[in-house]
Structure 1
């Protein structure tokens, strides 16, 4: 009888312990955000993408089918930045405040100044155009990492790739030649690096994987590790090193690749994400024809 009581007590203890862990896991979201605070800002677009934040906390994002780039300011105002965006997709700000964009209308990397005047940063030679630059990240030296998957566009005359493979490239600052840093992914898409410039993350959208790399002094990548068994479109990082992946809502993983939270954006598929606002503590989400915001308990590092 005593053994039965002891065994029962052990079982009760284990159940209570596991239950407490479950509660902590469920309440883990609350340390990052409150799901009920997710706010729809606007659904006036066609397909939103390419969210990035400037030094003041303003967000710029693309509406690729409409060939536009929009600004969502820290005081919650929407304004058109340009209606001549060269079909810009992913974007990122450089240290000078220029908005760099993967512009796949003519398979280019462009830089837009504060007045939306474009400057060509990179384009492959004719007859061997890039597939369609998709997303980019700028390192501390000003070098540009970008992904080049092939997604057939209805505004292209061509119907097939002009080059072999879908690759990840690196363009050193003031250089005119790109270097292939990974040519083994099925369809590289989202890309982001850590604030210290030591680590790069790249999502393989077709392979449904997200990889981690060590960035070398010359910009090359080493020690690739499969971090997460999930791909992503756009992605971002917070100050704790957590990784935010888009696609089916927003899934948050810690530095070890363990899922720690999930943001339900049930209306449509998410495409891109960044931290915005004066304190960089507002998560800005692009999804289909809409944009959303979510106050966070952590700050972004981009």
Structure 2
């Protein structure tokens, strides 16, 4: 979730669903934005005439997409609306879980009470970053039964877990900025003095990866899982950090991987947020201007520009489709490369 969220709804030929969300007819899906080629290297990633399809619209702030291979559908969040959606080619976008996050009595404590980042664990269950309950929970995709996985560090409630990445060994990296809380860092219910990046191991032990970032947000692992990427959605320091990981899963080295300040100063909407990788290690990172396509060395070779702030992205279908949650819409674009699919 980016602190500069903005909502820009636009008209399209669509069938209106409950909750104001609309899904474009399959034969008449509109396209949005454009793909900006900044290097010939992008030719290996995407066709020059590739279309960015708008699949659904009318969300408050769409986030956290994850593809469920067993069933062939996408699940994603509308964080402020407190709703989780399911999208499939045959059914479009339908409500999957409501509320997706906070389900208690009315309160002014939360500015965004719903689910945010999503990922699948080794069992195929869905792991959910829950802003309102300030926890990570597991939900059975068939029964929708929720189980809290973790909600505290050293006895103190998390701020609002935002995004997560699951390793092949079952470890979970997640970020915990204050975006779910009214007042952010000044929230009276904020218990932790920092906004952390954490490692939750399969044995239940919880370790701090970094407690020095201002607004840690999106998180992703490289294909070999030896590097962790973390987006920092701070307008005064919009960067993507890279952590080289040791055998214990903790950092042995950290550095700024990409500085998005020039793009922000140039007027690109949005801040560093969610991200995913292809099998060759290219990073598809949302940031000022759209989805930034970065080489493993941090070179910006192109931008998937949707004309609005972009929250997150994930590979799905046969691995060559990039789904993008961008402000009020869900979109997709076909790529030449194959992505890391949960």
TM-score range for the pair, normalised by the shorter chain length? 0.7 to 0.9
Following TM superposition, by how much is the alpha carbon of 1:190 offset from its aligned partner in structure 2, in angstroms?
A: 0.7
How many pairs are equivalent? 276
Equivalent pair of 1:29/1:262 in contact (CA under 8 Å): no
1:94 to 102, 121, 124: 121
Equivalent pair of 2:245/2:251 in contact (CA under 8 Å): yes
State the structure with more CA Rg: 1
- What 5-or-longer segments of structure 1 have no aligned partner? 1-23
Equivalent pair of 1:52/1:61 in contact (CA under 8 Å): yes
Equivalent pair of 1:145/1:169 in contact (CA under 8 Å): yes
Does residue 303 of structure 2 align to residue 265 of structure 1? no
Aligned to 1:41: 55
RMSD over aligned Cα atoms: 2.3
Following TM superposition, by how much is the alpha carbon of 1:54 offset from its aligned partner in structure 2, in angstroms?
A: 2.1
Equivalent pair of 1:90/1:136 in contact (CA under 8 Å): yes
- What 5-or-longer segments of structure 2 have no aligned partner? 1-36, 102-113, 261-270
Equivalent pair of 2:39/2:301 in contact (CA under 8 Å): no
Aligned to 1:110: 137
Q: What is the TM-score of this pair, normalised by structure 2?
A: 0.75
Q: Secondary structure at the match of 1:66?
A: coil
Following TM superposition, by how much is the alpha carbon of 1:294 offset from its aligned partner in structure 2, in angstroms?
A: 0.5
Matches within 5 A, 1:211-230: 211-230=241-260
Does residue 83 of structure 2 align to residue 68 of structure 1? yes
Aligned to 1:301: 340
Equivalent pair of 2:277/2:283 in contact (CA under 8 Å): yes
Query: 2-side partners of 1:270 and 1:70: how far apart?
Result: 17
Alpha-carbon deviations, 1:64-120, whole Å to 9, x = none? 122111112254632221112111111111121111011011110011111221110
More helix by share: 1
Matches within 5 A, 1:54-203: 54-56=68-70, 57-73=72-88, 75=90, 77-86=92-101, 87-114=114-141, 115-124=143-152, 128-151=156-179, 153-154=181-182, 159=188, 161-175=190-204, 177-203=205-231
Does residue 79 of structure 2 align to residue 50 of structure 1? no
Judged with a 3 Å threshold, the aligned counterparts in structure 2 of structure 1 residues 125 and 281 are, in CA distance, closer, same or farther, namely closer
Does residue 319 of structure 2 align to residue 280 of structure 1? yes
Following TM superposition, by how much is the alpha carbon of 1:261 offset from its aligned partner in structure 2, in angstroms?
A: 1.1
Following TM superposition, by how much is the alpha carbon of 1:154 offset from its aligned partner in structure 2, in angstroms?
A: 4.6
Following TM superposition, by how much is the alpha carbon of 1:38 offset from its aligned partner in structure 2, in angstroms?
A: 0.5
Q: Secondary structure at the match of 2:156?
A: coil
Q: Secondary structure at the match of 2:42?
A: helix
2:272 to 227, 232, 250: 232
